C-alpha cells in the first residue's frame, strides 16, 4: 500500500495541472492580501475564492485522474493486492497531493498575513473541503464506468453544493417564512460541507451580527467548543461516507 501511495503522490505532484493550481492559488492569495490595506478584508475576499475554486478543482481533477488511471488500477487488481488497499491508496495520494497544493498556495500566505484563530480555521476548512471533494469524486468515479458521465456527475455535484443547495434552502425559507426556522438552519448547514465551512469562518471573523437572529443562533451553537468540535466532526463525516460507499462499490465492481 505504501508503494502505491508514494507512486500516486509523486505522479500527481509532477502533474502540470496541480502545479498551475498551486501557482494560481498562491498568486491570488498574495494579490488579495497586498491589494487590501486590512488583512481581515483580504481574508474575507479569499474566503469566497476558497469556497468555490478549491472544491471545483479537487472534484474535477480527482475524477479525471481516476478515469485516466483505469489501466493502472486494472493492473494492480490483477496483482495479489487487496482492492481496499488500492482504492485507499488512490484516495490518500489524491488527498495528500491536493492538500499540499492548497497549503502552499493559500495556507502559507494566510499564515504570513493573518496567523490567528481565524486564519487557521480557514486553512483547516480549505484542507477539509479538499479531502471531502476528493472523496465525493471517488464516489462519482465509482458509480459509473463512463468517463463523460462520471465527470458530468462530478460537475453536477459541485454545482449542487456550491449553488443549487443554497437556492433550495432559500426557497424553503420563503415558502415557510411564517414559521421560526432559524434553528432548522443549523441542521441545514450540516447537509452541505461548503456551507458548514463558510458559517464556521464567518463566526470566527465575528460577522454573525450581519446575519441577524439566524447569526445569533449560529453563534450560540458554533461559538462554543462543543459546536466547533461538532462542525469539524460533520466535515469528517462528509469525508468518510462518500469514501465508504465508493470503497464498497469498487470492491464489488467488475473491471
pLDDT, position 9: 87
Across 193-219, average pLDDT: 67
Distance between CA 79 and CA 242 in Å, rounded?
26
What is the rounded average pLDDT for all residues in the chain? 84
Give the rounded percent of residues in the chain with a pLDDT score beyond 70: 89
pLDDT bin (cut points 50, 70, 90) of residue 213 is very low
- Quick one: cell of 204? 470566527
CA dist., res. 232 & res. 81, Å (int)? 33
pTM (predicted TM-score): 0.90
Q: How far apart are CA 237 and CA 211, in angstroms?
A: 26
In 3D space, the residue among 251, 30, 27, 246 whose CA is nearest the CA of residue 133 turns out to be 246
Position 70 scores a pLDDT of 86
Q: What is the CA radius of gyration of the chain?
A: 19
pLDDT per position as a tens digit, 168-184: 887 877 777 777 766 77
pLDDT at 67: 92
DSSP H helix total and E strand total for the chain: 13, 0
Domain ranges of the chain: 2-252
Distance, in Å, from the CA atom of 16 to the CA atom of 14, rounded to the nearest integer, reads 6
HSE-CB of 46 using CA atoms within 13 angstroms: 35
Dist. CA 101–CA 9, nearest whole Å: 11
115-143 pLDDT tens trace: 788 888 889 999 999 999 999 999 999 88
Q: Over the stretch 25-69, which tens digit does the pLDDT of each residue have?
A: 999 998 888 887 777 777 888 888 888 999 999 999 999 999 998
Give the list of residues 6+ apart from residue 213 with CB closer than 8 angstroms, or none: 182
Amino acid at each position: 500500500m505504501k508503494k502505491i501511495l508514494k507512486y500516486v503522490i509523486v505522479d500527481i505532484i509532477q502533474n502540470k495541472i496541480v502545479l498551475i493550481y498551486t501557482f494560481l492559488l498562491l498568486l491570488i492569495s498574495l494579490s488579495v492580501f497586498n491589494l487590501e490595506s486590512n488583512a481581515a478584508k483580504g481574508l474575507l475576499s479569499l474566503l469566497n475564492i476558497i469556497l468555490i475554486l478549491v472544491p471545483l478543482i479537487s472534484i474535477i481533477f480527482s475524477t479525471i485522474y481516476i478515469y485516466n488511471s483505469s489501466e493502472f488500477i486494472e493492473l494492480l487488481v490483477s496483482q495479489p493486492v487487496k482492492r481496499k488497499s488500492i482504492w485507499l491508496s488512490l484516495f490518500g495520494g489524491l488527498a495528500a497531493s491536493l492538500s499540499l497544493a492548497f497549503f502552499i498556495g493559500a495556507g502559507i500566505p494566510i499564515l504570513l498575513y493573518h496567523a490567528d484563530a481565524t486564519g487557521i480555521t480557514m486553512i483547516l476548512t480549505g484542507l477539509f473541503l479538499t479531502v471531502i471533494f476528493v472523496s465525493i469524486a471517488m464516489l462519482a468515479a465509482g458509480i459509473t464506468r463512463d468517463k463523460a458521465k462520471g465527470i458530468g456527475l462530478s460537475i453536477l455535484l459541485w454545482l449542487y453544493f456550491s449553488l443549487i443547495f443554497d437556492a433550495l434552502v432559500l426557497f424553503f425559507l420563503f415558502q415557510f417564512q411564517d414559521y421560526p426556522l432559524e434553528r432548522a438552519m443549523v441542521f441545514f448547514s450540516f447537509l452541505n460541507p461548503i456551507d458548514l465551512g463558510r458559517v464556521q469562518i464567518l463566526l470566527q471573523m465575528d460577522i454573525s451580527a450581519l446575519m441577524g437572529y439566524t447569526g445569533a443562533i449560529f453563534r450560540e451553537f458554533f461559538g462554543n467548543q462543543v459546536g466547533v468540535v461538532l462542525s469539524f466532526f460533520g466535515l469528517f463525516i462528509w469525508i468518510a461516507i462518500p469514501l465508504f460507499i465508493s470503497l464498497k462499490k469498487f470492491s464489488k465492481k467488475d473491471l
